[in-house]
Every structure is written in C-alpha cells, then in structure tokens.
A and B are shown apart, each in its own frame.
Chain A
Amino acid sequence: MWKNVPFFPEQASTLAGEVDALYFTFLGISVFFGLLVAGLVVFFAIRFRRRSEDEIGRPEKAGIWLEIIWSVIPLAILLAMFAWGAKVYVQAFRPPGNAIEYFVTAKQWMWKFQHPQGNREINNLHVPLGQPIRLTMTSEDVIHSFFVPAFRVKADVLPGRYTTVWFEASKVGTFHLFCAEYCGAEHSMMGGSIIVMEPADYEMWLAGRDSGPSVIASGEELFKLKACNTCHRSDSATLAPILHGVFGEEVEFEGGGTQIVDENYLRESIMNPTAKLVKGYKPLMPTYKGQMTEDEVLQLIGYIKSLASDAKEDHGAVSDSSSPDPVPDEG
C-alpha cells in the first residue's frame, strides 16, 4: 500500500499496518487542527491588522461555551486515540500462544541470537515468514534496545532481567536491526539485519549448517553439569521443589507472598536463590551468579520450561488449537 511513498519505511510485519493506520489517522487529525489554527492566526493577523497608530482592539466577553467546546473536543479525540494506541500496544507486547521462542543476548556492541533448534547467529537473525516469533532478551552489560523499523517493534533489553517482544514477518527480505538505546562508543554500529525467508527456505537454511545441540538439549546438559539435578529431582521434593510443570504456576514463598513462575523468576532463583524461598524449603541452594553466561542461563531456563510442557501434555495442544492462524507446515 505504501510502497512508493518516499521517506517511508517498509511494512514487513503483521503489526506494521496497524501502527501505520493509527499513525496516519492521528497525522490527519493533527494536520487538520494545525492548519485550522495556522489558518485562523494568519487570517486574523491580516484581517484585523492595525489601521491607525492609536487604534485599540475591540474587547469581547469571554465565551464560556467556547472554552468548553475547545477543551472537550480535543479531550475526546485524545482519549479515542489513547484507546486505539493502547489496543495496538497491548497486542504488540502480548505474544500469541503459538509464538516460537528465540533467545537474544545483547552486549556492547553486538547482538547474539539463538534459534530454538540451537543455531547461533551474531548481528543477523534468519526467521521464517508468517510465523509468530517471540524474543526473550537480556543484556550482558548496559541497556540496549531491539528495534526493527520495518516491523514497527521496539523493546529495551536490560541487564539482569528478561524482556520480550514478538513479531510475525509478513514480507520476505532483509530488514535493518538497530540498537535504539544509547549504549556507548559504538552505539550506532550496533546493528544488523533480520532476514525473513519462506518457511521452506528457512528449513533449508537451518539444515545447511551445523546447529549444535538444541536449546533444550544444551539446557539439560547444563542441568547435569551444574549439578542442579542432585537436589531438583523429578521423583523427590525433599531437598528442592520439583521443577516439572512449575513454569506458569503460582508458587508460595516462605514468609508469605506468591508469584507466577516466569522467566524472570527462574533467573532470580538461579542468581539469588534465597531472595524468594519457596515455602517449606531451607536456604540450601548456592548462587550461580558469575558462574554461568547469560546464554547458558537462558538455555537452562529453556530446559526448565520444556519440563513444564512435558508434564502437562495438553498445554501445547490448547494454544495450538486456539490460534486462528495455521502454523506453517515445517519442512
């Protein structure tokens, strides 16, 4: 639709059209009010120009109804735009259930990606067309921001916690990836490309290189290597909670309070295990702070999440069937 408009970014995600529709509507309203005010100012300034040196203006009584009109009309329009903008925003930050998870680790000044199949890339990310993709992101140093103008998505990438963003590419091609949050000397060079491919081409691309172990397999390996499995057993909850099925569930803490187990909670429990102790357990677990890279922590969490879906077989099926979009046939 906007293909030949100069100075306008490509639309390459399902979200892009929605953001643009919102933008152009607001732009239209703004141009209308801008021209209205400018037109009146110029017209009055000419029509009522001073004709003689001692002339004064003709004072009028302030009209309360005018004040009400020009307060209420802008307010109503602004609230409508707020509601529309909120709808698009909520959509952009709530990944659909069938989104496939990729990991992103940012550092000064590069982007590291890991596909669920295990493939790693730096600064470039290959993704299949028409597949909702959810990025779980963290930073190894300062705040960065993941920004793909053609997708109209942006989310800050923070050290010490996970943020997520999702997109569904709607166009094959190569699109700019920028770091949008100032991050030091090479900030403007901290970019790359998102390469959108037909699903079949993407499968071929994946098959054409050694992917290494998948995220879950790496996580499982780490789970043994770091001796997590000595206490977190699948058959006994004596020393530590059973992790199967824990993801997405509510846990209760020693001393009160509850929380839904999400990526950030798992990360905190690995890095600072005593911060939120699950009810009924003693602070036995040592911290793993400084002993694992951010990539490894992500893999470990990926593995723990996979335990969740193992334990609840119906979980994946529910989100698949509830999704209106058919999942592209793999391979």
Chain B
Amino acid sequence: NNNWLNAYYDPVAGIYTFPSCIALADLNSDGDNKLVIADLGSGLYKMTLKVFQGTSVVQENALLDLPTGIVSVYMDNMEPRTPGIVVASGSCLFVYKNMRPYYKYPLPLLPVNEAEKSLWNAVRNGDVVADALTAALSSLKDEIYASALTSQTLRFLQLESRDEAEAFIESHKNVGLKRETVVTCLATMKKSVAEEDAISCLVAGTEHKEIQIIDSEAFTQLKSYNLPSIPVFINVSGLYDVDFRLFVACRDGKIYALKKDSTEYRVCIELGSQVVGMERIHKHMVVATMDKAVSCYTTKGKKLWSLELPANIVCTGIMDQKAKGFKALMVGLDNNEIRIYKDKNLVDTLTLNDRPQAICYGRYGREDSTLVSVTSSGALNVHILKRTAEYSEQSGNQGQLNPQKTKLNIPKKTQLFVDQTVREREHGTEMFQSFQHDLQLIRLQAAKTYIHGLNSSITPISDDPDIPLKLNATVQGIGPVFQMMVTVENTASSTASDPKLVSDLKMMFKFSDKVYTATPRIFSLPPLVPGIPYRFPIRIECIATDQPAQDTVTAVVFTRSKPKPIVTANISMPVSEGVVVV
C-alpha cells in the first residue's frame, strides 16, 4: 500500500482484545505517547494491562476480572499534565496513574431483594438447611429475574452436590450480601472546558441498564440514567457543565439519546441489525451493523446514507487528522481489510495478514498518524501514515457498476439446423406419428418393467403406505475388503399423536458365495423413527482371490409378516484389488 509504512509487526504478540480496550495516551507527560492495551488473556484468566513503548512492553499489570473498556482521562489540574488510565473491569473502575495503581472505584451497590436477604439471614442463624435454601432460592429466581439476585445466590444455585452447598454456606454465612453490577462500556466527557487536556468525567454503562456519569476528581456519581436495555456503545458530545448529549447503542438494536436536563431517554434510531461499532463524525452518527452495512444518521435519527460492505464488519474506529482537518471512519472487515471511508467514499484500503479485531488511530511515540491494529490471531501491527499521503474525495473508486453489456453465449444456428427444420416442416406428420408410436411402446415397456419391479419388490423405495422405506448404499474401499454403508430411512411423515415407527424389520444380503462374504450377513433393524437416516456399516470381503472379481450384492429388507421383501437394492461392487504382498 502506498499510503502506509509498516512500522512494526509482531505476529506472536498473543494479544486478545477489543476496540474498547485499546488506547493511546501520553502517560508520563513527556510527549512520547504509549499504547495501553487491556489484554483479555485467555478469556478466563491471565488478564493484564499492557503498556507498550516503541516496540516493547514496558509494563504489565495483572487485572482481576475481564476488562470491558479503558480510557485515558485527565483528573486534576496539576503540572505536569499526567493523564490517568481508567480500566473498567467487573464492577469496579480501576484508576492507574504514572503506570501505578492509584484508585479503585466500585460502582454503587444495588439494593438486595428483601426475601433473599431474609433467607440468608435465616441461614446465618442456622434456621434453614442447605436443601431448603436451594428450594427457596430457586423459586425466588423463577419469580423475579436472575439479574435481580446477588452473585452469591446465583453461585450457590449452580452448586451440584449437597456437600458443596454446605461448605459454601459455611464459608459465606458471615459475609454480607452484596448486589453488584458490571460495567459494559466506558467513555469520557469533558467537564467544563473543551481543551485537549481538560478535566473529564467518566460515563459508564452497566449491566443493569444504567448509564452513570462519575466525577473523576472526587469519584462521586454526578448523574445516572435508566435505559430499557443494556448499553454496549456510548457516544458523548458536549460538556458536562454546559450541555451534553449521549447516544447509547443497546443490545436491543436501538440507539437512545440522553440529555443533560432530563433523565428520560428518547429512542433515536431503530436498527435492523445488531450494532458492531458506532462513531460520531462531525454532526452525524455513523453506525456499523452486523448486516455488513455502514449507515449514517443525523442526531435526530434521520438516515442519510447507507453502504453495503463486501464482508462482515469486525470493528470500527475514527481516523482524526486534526492538522489536516480530516476525519474519516475506519472499518475492520472479515476479509482482513481495514477500509477508510470519508463520508461515504472509500478513500483507502489497507490489507493485513489476518482479521483485524481491534483498531486504534492516534499519536504513538512521537508520530501523530499511527494506526495500531490487533488481529484475531493475536498479532500486533503498527502502521504509520506517510506524510505525503493525500486523501481526496475522488480517490475512492465508488463509481457505479457498468450496466450489463455481456452478450449471452448463444451459438449461431447452423446450416445443419436449418436443414433439419426443413425436414421437420415437410415430414411433420410422419415424424409426430412415429414418435407417438415409439413413445407408446416405451411407455408400455416402462410400465411393464415398473410393475415387475413392484411385484417382485426389487426397488429400493417402497410404495407400501404402512412401511414407506428407502434404502441406499455406498461402497468404500479398494478391496479385497470393502466397507458398505447401507442407509435405511423411514419416509413417513410423523405426527405427534402417531409417531409411525416401523419395527420388526430385518436386513439380509444376497450375493454369490464364491465371490464375497459379508459380516453381518443378516441382522435385525432397530425400530425406525421417521425422517432419520439409519446407517449400518457392513464388511464385505472379496474371497475370489485368483481372478479380479466384480459382482452385484443385493441388500434386502424384509419383515416376518410378509412373504415378499419390502425394499431391495442392487449394489454393484467395484472391482476388487488383489491382495498386495509387500
């Protein structure tokens, strides 16, 4: 690619992260921006917060729970201006400053259900035993939502054996009940000044359908909103002290708008598909959805345009070149591309070695235009935008497809064809009569053969309405030993009242004794449930070793009550390979 320099590529960085867990920040206020990645580790353990400087990891801090978002935020007015890193993980916000743990802010606890509280109180007093507690709690769980119970209760209900339950009660009965929530997404909002390094407050969405705005100086909750669904992406505009507006994409596929002066929400956009990424470019919202579409909406919720992309969208990001006043949308696609869209024009495409899982554009080190991407294989890429790179609106090849001009490949009519039509015209009657005559003969022959087949049941499909069976077989192998896979299926359509089982059937194989042996040669079929193919492996061995042999094996399904077989399949065996002596 012409516009990007490949600055660093580590295919074995082993990073597992998402776009919300990646940030670029000047952690030491020395003008040398670091890359901060909250690594999800294996997804279960080894979660770490990694700080990259240049091409190496300079610091790693272990995280207790899965990170859901990180932001860098200025928390005070002290010089030098050092930002803190806030990591949302579990029910807490962890604040790091100067790359050291600085503060832990647990989100406010939620009220515990009264019935639940009284049950655990009774346990503490020894009034209730484990079994009774289990029964009472699970009925409580059925009554109200599971998310309204504490994690202690939910864990207790997951326990399987009685011993475990008793041990759990013993160890937890003196612990107070807490109902915590989990942070799902995190964003920042400038407090009173719109400067680059002004103090910001934090905006967090929680699993309990809440948006909380938290002051980053004193760590107090400034405001909270309730939503009808669980937030996944937050987009902020404005200042907290003046006026602001939040756009929150939720798991129900809707985007809600929240305002400063009211606690009510407004449904802003209803999407047809789940949101993959939501960015704000100037005054518009650009939303990437799971149906491969990128759509642009006004803040009022009016759709301006929509693009269909060639592959599934994995992640989105904003490319903001402040010096050039250029702001564009970056989209990471399933086909290993990162595409850059200026409005709805494709201006650049960067192809990686793997699927980009998280992308982040900004200042890294001393380079202003850096694109950091983490792929799904865990590789870390750093690309630098060349200073000569020019993005104009026209550079994209978004032109309309040419109308179809391909000619259909129909051959010219040959002289031969014309001659034949002449013949047809002249002898039409005779030809028709002769055709009809022959057709009648063929009809007769087909009907005769067909009725013969039905009478002697040599067809692999039975027409008996009581026992509608179908039999077919494939042969695998090269001989002398073959594996024959025989498939029997009951083709009746079952109803709930009448399952139409077919039972008491047997299968048998007929072949020349001198050529083959089969094991098993005869066996009973299980009762056949309609619509399920039953496969039986049969071992067929060719015993005629002196000459290459090929014969037909006939599979027959029959039942005791009928003298004739129900279905028959003739399987012509491949020529057997001789025994190879090595």
Q: Do A and B bind each other?
A: no
Q: B-contacting residues of A (Cβ < 8 Å)?
A: none
Q: A-contacting residues of B (Cβ < 8 Å)?
A: none
